[in-house]
Structure 1
Amino acid sequence: MDGKGWTNWAEGVAFGLENGMAVIPYALLKHYRKLGLSGSEAMLLIHLLSFRQVEGIEFPSMEELQQVTGRSISVIAGELQKLMKEGFISIDGDNDELRDIHYERYNFSGLYSKLGSYLAEAAKQSAQGQDKGAFAPDLRAAAHHSGAAAPDGGYGRPAAPGAGVEAEESRSLFSIFEKEFGRPLSPMECENISGWVDQDRYPEELILLALKESVFAGKLHFRYIDRILLEWARNRVKNAQDVKNYSQKFRNGGR
Protein backbone atom coordinates (compact mmCIF):
# COMPACT_ATOMS: atom_id res chain seq x y z
CA MET A 1 0.00 0.00 0.00
CA ASP A 2 1.43 3.37 -1.02
CA GLY A 3 1.31 6.60 0.97
CA LYS A 4 -2.02 7.64 -0.51
CA GLY A 5 -3.52 4.27 0.28
CA TRP A 6 -2.50 4.51 3.92
CA THR A 7 -3.94 8.02 4.06
CA ASN A 8 -7.27 6.82 2.69
CA TRP A 9 -7.25 3.94 5.17
CA ALA A 10 -6.61 6.30 8.07
CA GLU A 11 -9.37 8.61 6.91
CA GLY A 12 -11.77 5.69 6.71
CA VAL A 13 -10.90 4.59 10.24
CA ALA A 14 -11.30 8.16 11.51
CA PHE A 15 -14.71 8.44 9.83
CA GLY A 16 -15.83 5.21 11.45
CA LEU A 17 -14.67 6.32 14.89
CA GLU A 18 -16.43 9.67 14.55
CA ASN A 19 -19.70 7.83 13.93
CA GLY A 20 -19.38 6.11 17.28
CA MET A 21 -18.41 2.72 18.64
CA ALA A 22 -20.50 0.17 20.49
CA VAL A 23 -19.03 -1.97 23.25
CA ILE A 24 -20.12 -5.56 22.65
CA PRO A 25 -19.33 -8.34 25.16
CA TYR A 26 -16.72 -10.55 23.56
CA ALA A 27 -18.27 -13.52 25.35
CA LEU A 28 -21.45 -12.95 23.32
CA LEU A 29 -19.53 -12.99 20.04
CA LYS A 30 -17.57 -16.09 21.03
CA HIS A 31 -20.17 -18.19 22.83
CA TYR A 32 -23.61 -17.21 21.49
CA ARG A 33 -24.09 -20.64 19.95
CA LYS A 34 -23.43 -22.32 23.29
CA LEU A 35 -26.27 -20.21 24.71
CA GLY A 36 -28.65 -21.56 22.07
CA LEU A 37 -28.69 -18.42 19.91
CA SER A 38 -28.57 -18.33 16.13
CA GLY A 39 -26.32 -15.89 14.31
CA SER A 40 -29.24 -13.63 13.41
CA GLU A 41 -30.50 -13.60 17.01
CA ALA A 42 -27.04 -12.70 18.32
CA MET A 43 -26.80 -9.97 15.68
CA LEU A 44 -30.17 -8.60 16.77
CA LEU A 45 -28.86 -8.33 20.34
CA ILE A 46 -25.79 -6.51 19.03
CA HIS A 47 -28.00 -4.05 17.14
CA LEU A 48 -30.10 -3.41 20.25
CA LEU A 49 -26.94 -2.73 22.27
CA SER A 50 -25.59 -0.48 19.51
CA PHE A 51 -28.78 1.57 19.28
CA ARG A 52 -28.55 2.27 23.01
CA GLN A 53 -24.84 3.07 23.17
CA VAL A 54 -24.27 4.96 19.90
CA GLU A 55 -27.61 6.58 19.09
CA GLY A 56 -29.13 6.80 22.55
CA ILE A 57 -32.21 4.87 21.42
CA GLU A 58 -33.23 2.46 24.18
CA PHE A 59 -36.30 1.09 22.43
CA PRO A 60 -35.78 1.07 18.64
CA SER A 61 -38.87 0.65 16.50
CA MET A 62 -39.49 -2.40 14.36
CA GLU A 63 -38.84 -0.25 11.28
CA GLU A 64 -35.44 0.82 12.63
CA LEU A 65 -34.53 -2.79 13.35
CA GLN A 66 -35.71 -3.81 9.90
CA GLN A 67 -33.51 -1.16 8.31
CA VAL A 68 -30.31 -2.35 10.02
CA THR A 69 -30.98 -6.10 9.81
CA GLY A 70 -32.54 -6.29 6.34
CA ARG A 71 -35.07 -8.87 7.56
CA SER A 72 -38.84 -8.75 7.60
CA ILE A 73 -40.68 -7.35 10.60
CA SER A 74 -42.41 -10.69 11.24
CA VAL A 75 -39.03 -12.45 11.45
CA ILE A 76 -37.65 -9.77 13.78
CA ALA A 77 -40.77 -10.01 15.94
CA GLY A 78 -40.32 -13.77 16.21
CA GLU A 79 -36.69 -13.37 17.25
CA LEU A 80 -37.56 -10.73 19.84
CA GLN A 81 -40.24 -13.05 21.17
CA LYS A 82 -37.70 -15.83 21.61
CA LEU A 83 -35.16 -13.53 23.27
CA MET A 84 -37.77 -12.30 25.73
CA LYS A 85 -39.29 -15.72 26.35
CA GLU A 86 -35.88 -17.26 27.13
CA GLY A 87 -34.87 -14.37 29.35
CA PHE A 88 -32.11 -12.76 27.30
CA ILE A 89 -33.89 -9.42 27.31
CA SER A 90 -36.92 -7.87 28.97
CA ILE A 91 -38.81 -4.62 28.56
CA ASP A 92 -38.93 -1.99 31.30
CA GLY A 93 -41.57 0.72 31.29
CA ASP A 94 -41.56 4.04 33.09
CA ASN A 95 -43.40 7.36 33.14
CA ASP A 96 -41.98 10.85 32.76
CA GLU A 97 -44.44 12.72 34.95
CA LEU A 98 -43.13 16.14 33.95
CA ARG A 99 -43.80 15.54 30.27
CA ASP A 100 -46.63 13.03 30.82
CA ILE A 101 -44.90 10.47 28.61
CA HIS A 102 -44.74 6.69 29.00
CA TYR A 103 -41.55 5.20 27.60
CA GLU A 104 -40.01 1.76 27.34
CA ARG A 105 -36.47 0.41 27.17
CA TYR A 106 -34.80 -2.95 26.72
CA ASN A 107 -33.20 -4.50 29.78
CA PHE A 108 -30.13 -6.68 29.07
CA SER A 109 -29.54 -7.99 32.60
CA GLY A 110 -30.74 -11.45 31.54
CA LEU A 111 -28.16 -11.59 28.76
CA TYR A 112 -25.35 -10.57 31.10
CA SER A 113 -26.51 -13.09 33.69
CA LYS A 114 -26.49 -15.91 31.16
CA LEU A 115 -23.04 -14.95 29.87
CA GLY A 116 -21.73 -14.75 33.42
CA SER A 117 -23.17 -18.16 34.31
CA TYR A 118 -21.72 -19.70 31.16
CA LEU A 119 -18.25 -18.26 31.81
CA ALA A 120 -18.38 -19.35 35.45
CA GLU A 121 -19.27 -22.89 34.41
CA ALA A 122 -16.49 -22.78 31.83
CA ALA A 123 -13.94 -21.73 34.44
CA LYS A 124 -15.18 -24.41 36.83
CA GLN A 125 -14.85 -27.20 34.31
CA SER A 126 -11.49 -25.93 33.15
CA ALA A 127 -10.23 -25.94 36.73
CA GLN A 128 -11.37 -29.55 37.06
CA GLY A 129 -8.88 -30.51 34.37
CA GLN A 130 -10.96 -30.71 31.23
CA ASP A 131 -9.34 -30.23 27.86
CA LYS A 132 -9.16 -26.45 27.45
CA GLY A 133 -8.77 -26.62 23.69
CA ALA A 134 -11.95 -28.61 23.11
CA PHE A 135 -13.84 -27.33 26.11
CA ALA A 136 -17.61 -27.09 25.74
CA PRO A 137 -19.55 -26.78 29.03
CA ASP A 138 -23.01 -28.22 29.32
CA LEU A 139 -25.60 -25.58 28.44
CA ARG A 140 -28.05 -27.14 30.89
CA ALA A 141 -25.77 -26.25 33.79
CA ALA A 142 -25.47 -22.64 32.66
CA ALA A 143 -29.21 -22.52 32.07
CA HIS A 144 -29.86 -23.80 35.57
CA HIS A 145 -27.90 -20.93 37.12
CA SER A 146 -29.37 -18.17 34.94
CA GLY A 147 -32.94 -19.33 34.43
CA ALA A 148 -32.44 -20.09 30.73
CA ALA A 149 -34.25 -22.91 29.02
CA ALA A 150 -31.95 -25.50 27.45
CA PRO A 151 -32.61 -26.56 23.83
CA ASP A 152 -34.31 -29.78 24.95
CA GLY A 153 -36.99 -27.86 26.87
CA GLY A 154 -34.92 -26.79 29.86
CA TYR A 155 -33.22 -28.19 32.97
CA GLY A 156 -32.79 -31.66 31.49
CA ARG A 157 -36.48 -32.14 30.78
CA PRO A 158 -37.72 -33.18 27.33
CA ALA A 159 -39.22 -30.39 25.26
CA ALA A 160 -42.90 -29.90 25.96
CA PRO A 161 -45.17 -31.42 23.32
CA GLY A 162 -46.38 -28.76 20.92
CA ALA A 163 -43.72 -26.18 21.90
CA GLY A 164 -42.82 -25.63 18.25
CA VAL A 165 -46.49 -25.40 17.35
CA GLU A 166 -47.00 -22.64 19.92
CA ALA A 167 -44.17 -20.63 18.38
CA GLU A 168 -45.75 -20.98 14.94
CA GLU A 169 -49.13 -19.97 16.36
CA SER A 170 -47.64 -16.81 17.83
CA ARG A 171 -46.01 -15.87 14.55
CA SER A 172 -49.28 -16.32 12.66
CA LEU A 173 -51.05 -14.24 15.29
CA PHE A 174 -48.48 -11.47 14.79
CA SER A 175 -49.34 -11.33 11.09
CA ILE A 176 -53.10 -11.29 11.69
CA PHE A 177 -52.84 -8.55 14.32
CA GLU A 178 -50.59 -6.46 12.06
CA LYS A 179 -53.16 -6.78 9.26
CA GLU A 180 -56.04 -5.67 11.50
CA PHE A 181 -54.06 -2.83 13.08
CA GLY A 182 -52.76 -1.75 9.66
CA ARG A 183 -49.21 -1.32 10.97
CA PRO A 184 -46.27 -3.31 12.37
CA LEU A 185 -46.59 -4.32 16.00
CA SER A 186 -44.28 -2.88 18.63
CA PRO A 187 -42.07 -5.25 20.66
CA MET A 188 -44.31 -4.67 23.69
CA GLU A 189 -47.38 -5.65 21.67
CA CYS A 190 -45.59 -8.78 20.46
CA GLU A 191 -44.80 -9.59 24.08
CA ASN A 192 -48.49 -9.19 24.96
CA ILE A 193 -49.47 -11.73 22.31
CA SER A 194 -46.73 -14.10 23.45
CA GLY A 195 -47.97 -13.78 27.02
CA TRP A 196 -51.51 -14.70 26.00
CA VAL A 197 -50.20 -17.84 24.30
CA ASP A 198 -47.34 -18.94 26.56
CA GLN A 199 -48.38 -17.74 30.02
CA ASP A 200 -52.16 -17.40 30.00
CA ARG A 201 -52.56 -20.39 27.66
CA TYR A 202 -55.40 -18.80 25.73
CA PRO A 203 -56.26 -20.81 22.60
CA GLU A 204 -55.44 -19.05 19.34
CA GLU A 205 -59.12 -19.27 18.39
CA LEU A 206 -60.08 -17.34 21.50
CA ILE A 207 -57.45 -14.62 20.93
CA LEU A 208 -58.71 -14.09 17.38
CA LEU A 209 -62.31 -13.90 18.60
CA ALA A 210 -61.30 -11.26 21.13
CA LEU A 211 -59.59 -9.33 18.34
CA LYS A 212 -62.78 -9.62 16.29
CA GLU A 213 -64.85 -8.31 19.21
CA SER A 214 -62.57 -5.30 19.59
CA VAL A 215 -62.85 -4.52 15.86
CA PHE A 216 -66.66 -4.67 16.00
CA ALA A 217 -66.69 -2.49 19.11
CA GLY A 218 -64.43 0.08 17.47
CA LYS A 219 -61.92 -0.27 20.31
CA LEU A 220 -58.90 -1.72 18.55
CA HIS A 221 -56.25 -1.62 21.23
CA PHE A 222 -54.48 -4.24 23.31
CA ARG A 223 -55.89 -3.25 26.70
CA TYR A 224 -59.43 -3.76 25.46
CA ILE A 225 -58.56 -7.16 23.95
CA ASP A 226 -56.84 -8.17 27.19
CA ARG A 227 -59.94 -7.20 29.19
CA ILE A 228 -62.11 -9.34 26.90
CA LEU A 229 -59.84 -12.36 27.35
CA LEU A 230 -59.73 -11.87 31.11
CA GLU A 231 -63.53 -11.61 31.30
CA TRP A 232 -63.93 -14.78 29.24
CA ALA A 233 -61.41 -16.63 31.40
CA ARG A 234 -63.32 -15.66 34.55
CA ASN A 235 -66.49 -17.05 33.00
CA ARG A 236 -64.82 -20.22 31.68
CA VAL A 237 -65.23 -19.25 28.04
CA LYS A 238 -62.81 -21.47 26.13
CA ASN A 239 -63.95 -21.71 22.50
CA ALA A 240 -66.18 -20.20 19.83
CA GLN A 241 -69.31 -21.97 21.06
CA ASP A 242 -68.68 -20.74 24.61
CA VAL A 243 -68.28 -17.20 23.27
CA LYS A 244 -71.59 -17.49 21.44
CA ASN A 245 -73.38 -18.81 24.54
CA TYR A 246 -71.82 -16.18 26.78
CA SER A 247 -72.75 -13.36 24.40
CA GLN A 248 -76.31 -14.64 24.18
CA LYS A 249 -76.53 -14.87 27.97
CA PHE A 250 -75.14 -11.35 28.30
CA ARG A 251 -77.68 -9.98 25.82
CA ASN A 252 -80.48 -11.69 27.76
CA GLY A 253 -79.40 -9.96 30.95
CA GLY A 254 -77.69 -12.97 32.48
CA ARG A 255 -80.80 -15.20 32.51
Structure 2
Amino acid sequence: MSNDDIWKAYSRGMAAVMEEGGVHISALLLRSYRQLGLTDSELLLLLQLMAFRDAEGNGFPTPDELAERMDASERSIVEQLGKLMKEGFLAIDEHLDSHTGIQSEQYNWSGWLLKAAEWAALEKRESKKAEKAQRQPVQRTANPVNLFNIFEQEFGRLLSPIECETISGWMDEDKYAEELIRFALKEAVFAGKLSFRYIDRILIEWSRNRVTNEDEARAHAQRFRGGRG
Protein backbone atom coordinates (compact mmCIF):
# COMPACT_ATOMS: atom_id res chain seq x y z
CA MET A 1 0.00 0.00 0.00
CA SER A 2 1.40 3.38 -1.01
CA ASN A 3 1.64 6.41 1.25
CA ASP A 4 -1.22 8.04 -0.68
CA ASP A 5 -3.45 5.03 -0.02
CA ILE A 6 -2.54 5.09 3.68
CA TRP A 7 -3.44 8.76 4.01
CA LYS A 8 -6.68 8.27 2.09
CA ALA A 9 -7.64 5.43 4.42
CA TYR A 10 -6.75 7.59 7.41
CA SER A 11 -8.92 10.42 6.05
CA ARG A 12 -11.87 8.08 5.56
CA GLY A 13 -11.45 6.83 9.12
CA MET A 14 -11.41 10.37 10.51
CA ALA A 15 -14.51 11.26 8.49
CA ALA A 16 -16.30 8.24 9.97
CA VAL A 17 -15.33 9.35 13.48
CA MET A 18 -16.70 12.84 12.84
CA GLU A 19 -20.00 11.36 11.66
CA GLU A 20 -20.35 9.30 14.84
CA GLY A 21 -19.89 12.07 17.37
CA GLY A 22 -18.86 15.63 18.04
CA VAL A 23 -20.27 18.89 19.30
CA HIS A 24 -24.02 19.47 19.13
CA ILE A 25 -24.85 23.00 17.97
CA SER A 26 -28.44 24.19 17.84
CA ALA A 27 -29.41 25.74 14.51
CA LEU A 28 -30.99 28.55 16.52
CA LEU A 29 -27.56 29.64 17.78
CA LEU A 30 -26.28 29.94 14.23
CA ARG A 31 -29.43 31.70 13.04
CA SER A 32 -29.60 34.29 15.80
CA TYR A 33 -26.01 35.25 16.61
CA ARG A 34 -25.91 38.33 14.36
CA GLN A 35 -29.22 39.61 15.75
CA LEU A 36 -27.76 39.18 19.24
CA GLY A 37 -24.80 41.38 18.32
CA LEU A 38 -22.14 38.68 18.09
CA THR A 39 -19.41 38.88 15.48
CA ASP A 40 -18.23 35.93 13.40
CA SER A 41 -15.06 35.78 15.49
CA GLU A 42 -17.01 35.75 18.77
CA LEU A 43 -19.28 33.00 17.46
CA LEU A 44 -16.27 30.90 16.50
CA LEU A 45 -14.74 31.47 19.93
CA LEU A 46 -17.90 30.23 21.66
CA LEU A 47 -18.02 27.20 19.39
CA GLN A 48 -14.37 26.45 20.19
CA LEU A 49 -15.19 26.56 23.90
CA MET A 50 -17.98 24.06 23.28
CA ALA A 51 -15.62 21.83 21.30
CA PHE A 52 -12.96 21.88 24.02
CA ARG A 53 -15.46 20.83 26.67
CA ASP A 54 -17.70 18.39 24.80
CA ALA A 55 -15.15 16.75 22.53
CA GLU A 56 -12.00 16.92 24.66
CA GLY A 57 -13.26 17.22 28.23
CA ASN A 58 -11.47 20.54 28.75
CA GLY A 59 -13.96 22.98 30.24
CA PHE A 60 -11.46 25.79 30.79
CA PRO A 61 -9.01 26.08 27.88
CA THR A 62 -6.37 28.78 28.13
CA PRO A 63 -6.29 31.80 25.80
CA ASP A 64 -3.16 30.32 24.27
CA GLU A 65 -4.94 27.05 23.47
CA LEU A 66 -7.84 28.96 21.95
CA ALA A 67 -5.53 31.19 19.92
CA GLU A 68 -3.91 28.10 18.38
CA ARG A 69 -7.32 27.05 17.04
CA MET A 70 -8.26 30.46 15.69
CA ASP A 71 -6.70 33.08 13.46
CA ALA A 72 -6.28 35.46 16.39
CA SER A 73 -3.67 36.53 18.91
CA GLU A 74 -3.78 35.53 22.55
CA ARG A 75 -4.49 39.16 23.46
CA SER A 76 -7.44 39.26 21.07
CA ILE A 77 -8.82 36.07 22.64
CA VAL A 78 -8.58 37.59 26.13
CA GLU A 79 -10.38 40.75 24.96
CA GLN A 80 -13.15 38.76 23.29
CA LEU A 81 -13.64 36.57 26.36
CA GLY A 82 -13.90 39.68 28.52
CA LYS A 83 -16.47 41.23 26.18
CA LEU A 84 -18.57 38.06 26.09
CA MET A 85 -18.60 37.86 29.89
CA LYS A 86 -19.41 41.55 30.26
CA GLU A 87 -22.39 41.25 27.90
CA GLY A 88 -23.74 38.13 29.62
CA PHE A 89 -23.01 35.57 26.92
CA LEU A 90 -20.35 33.79 28.94
CA ALA A 91 -19.55 33.16 32.60
CA ILE A 92 -17.01 31.21 34.63
CA ASP A 93 -18.25 28.63 37.12
CA GLU A 94 -16.12 27.44 40.02
CA HIS A 95 -16.30 23.82 41.14
CA LEU A 96 -14.94 22.32 44.34
CA ASP A 97 -14.33 18.58 44.43
CA SER A 98 -15.68 17.41 47.79
CA HIS A 99 -13.37 14.40 47.80
CA THR A 100 -10.07 15.96 46.79
CA GLY A 101 -10.72 19.56 47.80
CA ILE A 102 -9.39 20.68 44.43
CA GLN A 103 -11.07 23.73 42.94
CA SER A 104 -11.54 24.00 39.18
CA GLU A 105 -13.09 26.46 36.77
CA GLN A 106 -15.25 25.96 33.72
CA TYR A 107 -16.76 28.23 31.10
CA ASN A 108 -20.55 28.46 31.13
CA TRP A 109 -22.40 29.75 28.04
CA SER A 110 -25.96 29.33 29.34
CA GLY A 111 -26.34 33.12 29.07
CA TRP A 112 -25.85 32.81 25.30
CA LEU A 113 -28.45 30.05 25.12
CA LEU A 114 -30.94 32.14 27.11
CA LYS A 115 -30.44 35.19 24.89
CA ALA A 116 -30.97 33.08 21.77
CA ALA A 117 -34.12 31.52 23.25
CA GLU A 118 -35.52 34.95 24.16
CA TRP A 119 -34.79 36.20 20.64
CA ALA A 120 -36.60 33.17 19.16
CA ALA A 121 -39.61 33.74 21.44
CA LEU A 122 -39.78 37.41 20.43
CA GLU A 123 -39.47 36.51 16.76
CA LYS A 124 -42.32 34.00 17.07
CA ARG A 125 -44.52 36.50 18.92
CA GLU A 126 -43.92 39.19 16.28
CA SER A 127 -44.65 36.65 13.55
CA LYS A 128 -48.00 35.81 15.15
CA LYS A 129 -48.82 39.51 15.45
CA ALA A 130 -48.07 39.99 11.75
CA GLU A 131 -50.26 37.02 10.82
CA LYS A 132 -53.10 38.39 12.95
CA ALA A 133 -52.75 41.83 11.37
CA GLN A 134 -52.93 40.28 7.90
CA ARG A 135 -56.12 38.43 8.80
CA GLN A 136 -57.90 41.44 10.32
CA PRO A 137 -58.59 43.34 7.07
CA VAL A 138 -60.08 40.16 5.63
CA GLN A 139 -62.40 39.85 8.61
CA ARG A 140 -63.46 43.49 8.42
CA THR A 141 -64.05 43.45 4.68
CA ALA A 142 -65.51 39.98 4.47
CA ASN A 143 -68.47 41.19 2.42
CA PRO A 144 -67.81 44.75 1.22
CA VAL A 145 -70.21 44.48 -1.73
CA ASN A 146 -73.15 44.01 0.64
CA LEU A 147 -72.05 47.05 2.64
CA PHE A 148 -72.04 49.18 -0.52
CA ASN A 149 -75.48 47.83 -1.40
CA ILE A 150 -76.80 48.75 2.04
CA PHE A 151 -75.59 52.33 1.60
CA GLU A 152 -77.18 52.54 -1.84
CA GLN A 153 -80.48 51.27 -0.46
CA GLU A 154 -80.49 53.84 2.34
CA PHE A 155 -79.42 56.71 0.08
CA GLY A 156 -81.84 55.59 -2.64
CA ARG A 157 -79.26 55.95 -5.39
CA LEU A 158 -75.98 54.60 -6.72
CA LEU A 159 -72.87 55.66 -4.83
CA SER A 160 -70.31 57.91 -6.47
CA PRO A 161 -66.69 56.74 -6.87
CA ILE A 162 -65.62 59.12 -4.08
CA GLU A 163 -68.27 57.70 -1.74
CA CYS A 164 -67.13 54.15 -2.52
CA GLU A 165 -63.55 55.19 -1.73
CA THR A 166 -64.75 56.70 1.54
CA ILE A 167 -66.33 53.41 2.63
CA SER A 168 -63.20 51.49 1.60
CA GLY A 169 -61.08 53.97 3.55
CA TRP A 170 -63.15 53.42 6.69
CA MET A 171 -62.49 49.70 6.47
CA ASP A 172 -58.93 49.50 5.11
CA GLU A 173 -57.26 52.64 6.50
CA ASP A 174 -59.26 53.55 9.61
CA LYS A 175 -59.84 49.85 10.42
CA TYR A 176 -63.48 50.35 11.44
CA ALA A 177 -65.40 47.10 11.79
CA GLU A 178 -68.07 46.56 9.15
CA GLU A 179 -70.77 46.20 11.81
CA LEU A 180 -69.73 49.57 13.23
CA ILE A 181 -70.08 51.27 9.84
CA ARG A 182 -73.52 49.74 9.33
CA PHE A 183 -74.65 50.95 12.75
CA ALA A 184 -73.28 54.45 12.08
CA LEU A 185 -75.41 54.48 8.93
CA LYS A 186 -78.46 53.52 11.01
CA GLU A 187 -77.70 56.31 13.47
CA ALA A 188 -77.51 58.82 10.61
CA VAL A 189 -80.87 57.62 9.28
CA PHE A 190 -82.38 57.80 12.78
CA ALA A 191 -81.08 61.36 13.24
CA GLY A 192 -82.37 62.42 9.83
CA LYS A 193 -78.87 63.48 8.77
CA LEU A 194 -78.06 61.03 6.01
CA SER A 195 -74.69 62.20 4.70
CA PHE A 196 -71.22 60.73 4.50
CA ARG A 197 -69.83 63.66 6.47
CA TYR A 198 -72.22 63.01 9.36
CA ILE A 199 -71.48 59.26 9.33
CA ASP A 200 -67.76 60.02 9.37
CA ARG A 201 -68.24 62.30 12.40
CA ILE A 202 -70.08 59.47 14.19
CA LEU A 203 -67.26 57.01 13.49
CA ILE A 204 -64.60 59.49 14.64
CA GLU A 205 -66.53 60.12 17.86
CA TRP A 206 -66.78 56.40 18.54
CA SER A 207 -63.09 55.94 17.80
CA ARG A 208 -62.20 58.64 20.32
CA ASN A 209 -64.30 56.83 22.92
CA ARG A 210 -62.78 53.44 22.01
CA VAL A 211 -66.04 52.03 20.68
CA THR A 212 -65.16 48.93 18.66
CA ASN A 213 -68.41 47.03 18.04
CA GLU A 214 -72.16 47.50 17.59
CA ASP A 215 -73.08 46.78 21.22
CA GLU A 216 -70.65 49.41 22.50
CA ALA A 217 -71.88 51.87 19.85
CA ARG A 218 -75.51 51.30 20.86
CA ALA A 219 -74.67 51.88 24.53
CA HIS A 220 -72.73 55.03 23.65
CA ALA A 221 -75.62 56.35 21.55
CA GLN A 222 -78.09 55.72 24.37
CA ARG A 223 -75.90 57.59 26.84
CA PHE A 224 -75.57 60.45 24.37
CA ARG A 225 -79.33 60.68 23.87
CA GLY A 226 -79.92 60.41 27.60
CA GLY A 227 -77.49 63.23 28.25
CA ARG A 228 -79.24 65.44 25.73
CA GLY A 229 -82.61 64.65 27.27
TM-score by length of 1: 0.45
Q: Of Structure 1 and Structure 2, which has the larger fraction of its residues in helix?
A: 2
Query: Could you say which structure has the greater relative contact order, defined with CA pairs below 8 angstroms and 6 or more residues apart?
Result: 1
Q: What TM-score does the superposition give when structure 2 sets the normalisation length?
A: 0.50
Q: Which has the larger radius of gyration?
A: 2
